[in-house]
């Protein structure tokens, strides 16, 4: 009889998969309705489980919000491009493409509407530390670009605050099923933002109907 071997999830893998789905569903609910407008009952119904089942995975709604923030922070850090064969500007562009996809994609853990007042002081401190770590990594990318001449001389912190402010705003107006795909939005937004930081002329990306040099 054939055996599935490692294709069968072990208990820990099953739990991790359930947590991943829980955080994705919860983050989407928090973004859509806010912390106070979302209940564990709502989330349980979306998942097709009982509210009691959720308590196997989180302590309460505040803990769930906190865990979403932590998952989102790890997801954001994973978007940083570290390909040293590329110049700083291209690393920044690819990082922003991946980041924007991570905050509006179906697999997003992001709670961009930062419900920080709903977190405890200790939880908020951890969230801010993780957010700062992501911003510092992105600032390093900008510094790389300044050093290699692909990004104009600027304050990396100010540059990152500016591009992230615009990138995060995408969550305010993006609607699934709209005229533009997630990939188009991410590519066009990142390209436009990076063009403003480019030290020299930048060609468009004709493959993207939202952003490209017209013939």
Summarised one tens digit per residue, pLDDT across range 52-63 is 999 999 999 999
Cα distance between residue 93 and residue 193, in whole Å: 8
Q: Does domain 61-195 have CATH number 3.90.1150.10?
A: no
Summarised one tens digit per residue, pLDDT across range 105-116 is 988 988 865 556
Chain centroid, CA 109 distance in Å: 7
The label of the residue with tokens 């979302």 reads 38
Summarised one tens digit per residue, pLDDT across range 172-207 is 899 888 889 999 999 999 999 999 999 987 766 555
Spatial contact of 104 and 174, defined as CB atoms under 8 Å apart:
yes
The percentage of the chain sitting over the pLDDT mark of 70, rounded to a whole number, equals 88
The label of the residue with tokens 């001449």 reads 149
Cα distance between residue 134 and residue 56, in whole Å: 30
The label of the residue with tokens 């952003």 reads 211
Residue 185, H or E segment:
helix 182-195
**Domain residues of the chain, as ranges?**
61-195
């Amino acid at each position: 009889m054939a055996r599935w071997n490692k294709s069968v999830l072990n208990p820990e893998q099953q739990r991790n998969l359930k947590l991943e789905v829980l955080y994705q569903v919860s983050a989407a609910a928090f973004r859509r309705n806010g912390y106070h407008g979302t209940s564990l009952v709502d989330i349980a119904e979306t998942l097709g489980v009982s509210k009691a089942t959720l308590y196997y995975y989180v302590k309460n709604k505040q803990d769930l919000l906190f865990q979403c923030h932590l998952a989102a922070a790890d997801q954001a850090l994973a978007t940083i491009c570290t390909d040293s064969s590329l110049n700083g500007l291209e690393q920044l562009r690819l990082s922003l493409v991946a980041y924007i996809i991570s905050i509006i994609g179906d697999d997003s853990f992001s709670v961009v509407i930062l419900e920080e007042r709903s977190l405890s002081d200790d939880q908020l401190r951890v969230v801010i530390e993780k957010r700062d770590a992501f911003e510092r990594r992105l600032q390093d990318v900008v510094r790389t670009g300044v050093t290699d001449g692909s990004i104009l001389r600027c304050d990396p912190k100010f540059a990152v605050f500016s591009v992230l402010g615009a990138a995060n705003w995408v969550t305010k107006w993006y609607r699934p099923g709209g005229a533009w795909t997630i990939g188009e939005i991410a590519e066009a937004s990142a390209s436009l933002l990076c063009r403003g930081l480019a030290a020299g002329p930048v060609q468009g990306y004709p493959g993207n109907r939202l952003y490209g040099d017209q013939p």
